[in-house]
Structure 1
Amino acid sequence: MEYEHALLTIGTVNFDKLVYFYTQILEKPPINLIAGVYAEFEIVNLRLGIFKPKARYESEFAVNDRSPLSLCLEVSNLQDAIAHLQSLGYPPPGEISHASHGQEIYAYDPDGNRLILHQSN
């Protein structure tokens, strides 16, 4: 089987708030936007879609405190990325961790989805 693209989607009842957050953190508008329904961002080789589920499915997309999934974003300067999140009102709650592959910090979007900001050595 051959794949053409990968697309990660986030279903949310807070559509406008999440689209605004990702527009700000990625510093670019969606490449595809259907107001109030769907937004798609292109990040290097990944497409990130945000959609508003139909009302009958909203309970499936209720915010979960402990999602096992993370959106990992490699950044060139971790301190700048942290400052950017703070300016948006979403400061990372923990400390930077250091590992053999570099340093990283956990942050969260308005729905509580985990972001891992990583800077390689």
Structure 2
Amino acid sequence: MDQREPQSEKGQPGIAAAALFGLCPRCGGKTLFAGGLRFADKCGACELDYGTFNVGDGPAAFLTLLIGAAVTALAISVELAFRPPLWLHALMWVPVTTLAVIFGLRVAKAALLASEFRNRAKEAGSREL
């Protein structure tokens, strides 16, 4: 049985593909981001307004906990196994943490936006269908 993520309409990417590659959840164009972590105002191909989606701070809070725990566990493991000097820890873990947060935040924000589009999520109390 195929366990891949179903596409709701022809031409729409799955949530994972939209998140990993910055694809528009409606048309699949690579137009989701205008910069490193900033969403574009709208899709250049299908004119989907990205401003109508409320991604908020959920991805940032989740990633802070997840990446912080992972890096801490790895740093403790390296310390117990190899006992490197403190400067080497800083040299290793600062770039690893920075890159993990930037890449992870980009993917998490895109996944949440694509999920909101796919599920037609609206603000609580909204009467729009």
TM-score by length of 2: 0.27
Say which structure is richer in helix. Answer: 2
Say which structure is richer in strand. Answer: 1
Q: Which one has more relative contact order, counting CA pairs under 8 Å at least 6 apart?
A: 2
TM-score by length of 1: 0.28
Which of the pair has more CA radius of gyration?
2
